[in-house]
Amino acid sequence: MWYPIKSPFWLHWLYPRLLWHHRRDVPHLFLTFDDGPIPDVTPEILNILKGYDVRATFFCVGDNIRKHPDIFQRILDEGHRVGNHTYNHLKGWKTPFGEYLKNVEACNQLTQTDLFRPPYGRGTKKQYRELEKQYKIVMWDVMSGDFDPGISPDQCLKNVLNHTENGSIIVFHDNIKARERVLYALPRAIEHWLEQGYTFKTL
């Protein structure tokens, strides 16, 4: 499985209106989590974040909010931000335009947010043009790879430590595939970044 750990510059050039990172002259980082909320992972992530007094942004799938409203409410209650990740985790490239927009709106009925991240980071320019009328479309510049069963938890940790810089938007996942790697890498990465003087912000 191949994917870029650091988002390539040409993607930033192709899609300059999307948010890839924040200011590089300030030592702040933006932790994000995609695909939850689910009971097997999200509460443990929230416990880790609470232990370090760190806030993050959770891009939630609408159907998971429907199934687990108590966990979604906990995300909000503990001061984190939420973003829209479609209702059914759709691939933008493979979903008709109107169907995709309806699915995003169904999720927005639950999230009530102005942040959107396309699942798999894949959408069409037409979809983005329409969605940016209502949302800030958030991508990333560091992908942890926690969803990849082909890498070890330690490699996942190295992925984020080796590629993060000022203003980085970092992607982890609160889904079952990522569980082992994210729960290993997240606390170790936070400790390292805190020692380096970084602060954490929500989007």
Which amino acids are annotated catalytic? 34, 173
Alpha helices (H) in 15-91, listed in sequence order: 42-51, 62-67, 69-77
Max CA pair span of the chain: 47
Distance between CA atoms of residues 53 and 64, nearest Å: 25
Cα–Cα distance for residue pair 114/201, rounded to 1 Å: 17
Helix axes 42-51, 179-195, angle to 10 degrees: 10
Beta strands per DSSP E along the chain: 28-34, 57-60, 81-84, 115-116, 136-137, 142-143, 169-173, 199-200
Q: Could you tell me the end-to-end alpha-carbon distance of the chain, in angstroms, rounded to an integer?
A: 29
The three-state secondary structure class of 67 is helix
Q: Is residue 160 a contact partner of residue 187, using CB atoms and an 8 Å limit?
A: no
